Structure 1
């Protein structure tokens, strides 16, 4: 610590030797600084304050029904992005700043100056914005702030309207596109259903259950056919036995086909009964008609054969035996039932084969059907959502047009300043004095380092590395002492005069500005 103090004292002694150089430089720097500060042009700052009211009675009422953007956030973003080159160029025209511009270079300098000097600030937690601009002419500063305020309001409203119109146009384009996609998907689905109508069926069950049901019906029909065939065979056996017992009592032969006639009569009666219960397309009805047609053809063929051969057939087999006639009629009815059941069995077998063949294509058809339904469902869902968004956007636009996006209220209009806001000469003048003193102090320190001197034996010994045998003290005479006092007084007077000059200049400037 002692070494540090000694070193500082050594620096101060060396600087003291060149104190007049420092004082002279301080006066020069101070005077130059004062002149520069005094000759600086005055700038006038115009300010305005705007309150943006983003609250609306309609907004909570239309919540969930209309699109409601965050107006506060949009206004805050607008305040940050308003000072852009296109807006500044528009502002130059609005404020008539381009009247004094002659060259593109001057216009570029003006644009850069405005972008750096324009100020838009927002108070934290509120929608209160302040606009300010400083210029050497107060009227021009006021015009610039007025134009900036108009640009702020117009950009907020116009930008929002443009965003709404762009959003609505985009939604309309998407709706048209999805409407076309939805129509195409509906046509594909319709064509697919028409092509595969037989395979799709009524949609009441899958092909596995249909095949199972058809198998059960086929087995039941086959069982009924076997029962009918067994009953018919029993009747035939009984009829043959009756013929053997009464062979001698047979009537004279006649040109007739009693067996075929009896079967035809029975089948026609059965057909009439079935037509009362079924339609023409029923398999039993179709089978009965085929059997009747076959029997009629067989009857004609048999009569023709008997005519050609000259052989007469009995009319009813045993016309005088009533039991035989009843048995023959029952046999004919049994034949008709057997033929009908055979037709039913054949129809069921054909249907079963068709179902089994179609069942092999079911997985492919179901996969294609699922893909078509999925595409259709996706397009339909997107289309319906876009319709909802369009209606919501329309209501939001109408609500904005009715209630306004935001209410811009001018709290403080642009002011016409009558006092300069800069430069602050009352602050700059003392700073210029301090800068002059700092410059003089730095000069004395620099000269003392360039032209060093030893002020004590210790420093000499440390620098040279040689032993110091002794020192010779200076005897101060009265004349030298008086000269030293006069020099100290003169330096002090110069320093006090320097400080007094700046104090006087500051006080005088304050009275002038007042």
Structure 2
């Protein structure tokens, strides 16, 4: 502990012996530092707080979710310090007074961007700050930024919506022409390959319909031929004429009518065992028995039943011929369809490709129409109902105290650093020069025993000289502190004058 105390005493003694060097270095460092501080330009800061609020009632109804609304806010804060907006700020404030060329404008914009900060705070609050050489200029810049943000919220959204709608209108017009061409191509292909395309009336469907009709005609033809054969059998068993007696017990007219009824029943398909047929046959037998024993001559008359059967046979033969002709026509059509069916796969594939292209264009066209309507509605909601609303919470401040630099603090820091530099220089020089401030240090350095030390004896004149030097030293030291105090006073006076 004593050794540390001795070392401290030695260090203090070394610095004190070189106090004029320490004072000179302190003066030089302080003057240099204070000159550097004086060259730093003042920057005054102006701050404002705004609230960007999104209304979500109507926006949600038209498909403007909160995510898109927050994205709009982020885009707004990002574009607020864009070159276009900063150019408006430069032209709308005193910064544009000295701008004559585009290069100067670009320089002003870059300088302004470096001194502007837009920072998001809690919820939907934002802070806008600017640091510029003048407090009034800083306030004007922040106010202009707020004005530009409000203008962009109204005009910018309308401009973006208008540009998007123009783009979609152009796309819709192009798709509409392509859709019309595709539809015309499809109609022309359908007309060219009528009957070969899938769907109603295609070759396959027509072939199936022809097969079904042919099967039905075959069944009808079999039935018609069977009916014709039965009718021919009945016609063969029916006499062409009837024997009419002139005198006798029976009535020839009654016999003819009975035979006609029997022929009609057989024509209708009644069998011999049918009760009506049995009854009419018994009636004919009775009539013949009555007329068979009568005296007198007779003559033969046409049998009406036979004539009726002949007419029915002609109808049945015509029906069979018609069915046979229809069958031949169907077989001819089926042969022609079978020949066409070989070309149907290629035609169908090409038709499907044309249809697919048409459906794709139709889907794109419908999608563009839907998007245009949605964007138009969303644009109306954003612009006419103020989907993003601005509210200035804190007006731009006007500061008379420079935010940068903090001169009082820097002046004090330079003073402390200068004094420290002086002490350090004296201490370093003391270590570079060989000296023995104590007997113990001399003994350690020489390795020889040191009996003691003799204090310096000064005369009256020398003591007076030392007192004068100490006064000068204290005066120079006080002068350094006095200069520091004067600089502080000048700084605060300047702030007061600026106010």
**CA distance, structure 2, for counterparts of residue 237 and residue 57 of structure 1:** 94
Identify which of 210, 214, 220 aligns with 1:214. Answer: 210
Match of 1:479 in 2: 457
Alignment partner of 1:22 is 2:4: no
- The verdict on how the C-alpha distance between 1:117 and 1:213 changes in structure 2, with shifts beyond 3 A counting, is closer
Contact 1:433-1:502 within 8 A present in 2 as well? no
Secondary structure, counterpart of 2:196 in structure 1: helix
- The verdict on how the C-alpha distance between 1:45 and 1:196 changes in structure 2, with shifts beyond 3 A counting, is same
Match of 1:436 in 2: 418
**CA distance, structure 1, for counterparts of residue 326 and residue 388 of structure 2:** 82
State the 1:26 CA deviation.
1.2
Contact 2:198-2:348 within 8 A present in 1 as well? no
Contact 1:23-1:494 within 8 A present in 2 as well? no
- The verdict on how the C-alpha distance between 1:480 and 1:108 changes in structure 2, with shifts beyond 3 A counting, is farther
Residue pairs, 1:336-351, within 5 angstroms: 336-351=318-333
Residue pairs, 1:374-413, within 5 angstroms: 374-413=356-395
- The verdict on how the C-alpha distance between 1:84 and 1:238 changes in structure 2, with shifts beyond 3 A counting, is closer
Contact 1:430-1:502 within 8 A present in 2 as well? no
Secondary structure, counterpart of 1:70 in structure 2: helix
Match of 1:296 in 2: none
Match of 2:338 in 1: 356
State the 1:432 CA deviation.
0.7
What is the aligned-residue RMSD (CA, Å)? 5.0
Residue pairs, 1:427-466, within 5 angstroms: 427-444=409-426, 447=429
State the 1:222 CA deviation.
4.6
Residue pairs, 1:77-476, within 5 angstroms: 77-100=75-98, 110-136=108-134, 138-200=135-197, 203=200, 211-212=207-208, 214-215=210-211, 217-219=213-215, 221-222=217-218, 225=221, 332-333=314-315, 335-444=317-426, 447=429, 470=448, 472=450, 475-476=453-454
TM-score (norm 1): 0.65
State the 1:387 CA deviation.
1.6
- The verdict on how the C-alpha distance between 1:472 and 1:488 changes in structure 2, with shifts beyond 3 A counting, is farther
Q: Which moved more, 1:359-368 or 1:163-172?
A: 359-368
Contact 1:20-1:491 within 8 A present in 2 as well? no
- The verdict on how the C-alpha distance between 1:198 and 1:443 changes in structure 2, with shifts beyond 3 A counting, is same
Contact 1:133-1:145 within 8 A present in 2 as well? no
**CA distance, structure 1, for counterparts of residue 339 and residue 7 of structure 2:** 115
State the 1:241 CA deviation.
12
State the 1:427 CA deviation.
0.9
Contact 1:48-1:132 within 8 A present in 2 as well? no
TM-score (norm 2): 0.67
- The verdict on how the C-alpha distance between 1:360 and 1:432 changes in structure 2, with shifts beyond 3 A counting, is same
Q: Unpaired segments of 5 or more residues in structure 1?
A: 247-317
**CA distance, structure 2, for counterparts of residue 354 and residue 461 of structure 1:** 137
- The verdict on how the C-alpha distance between 1:88 and 1:461 changes in structure 2, with shifts beyond 3 A counting, is farther
Q: Deviations over 1:322-351 (max 9, x none)?
A: 888677666655543443232122112112
Q: Unpaired segments of 5 or more residues in structure 2?
A: 242-299
Secondary structure, counterpart of 1:339 in structure 2: helix
Report the count of equivalent residues: 433
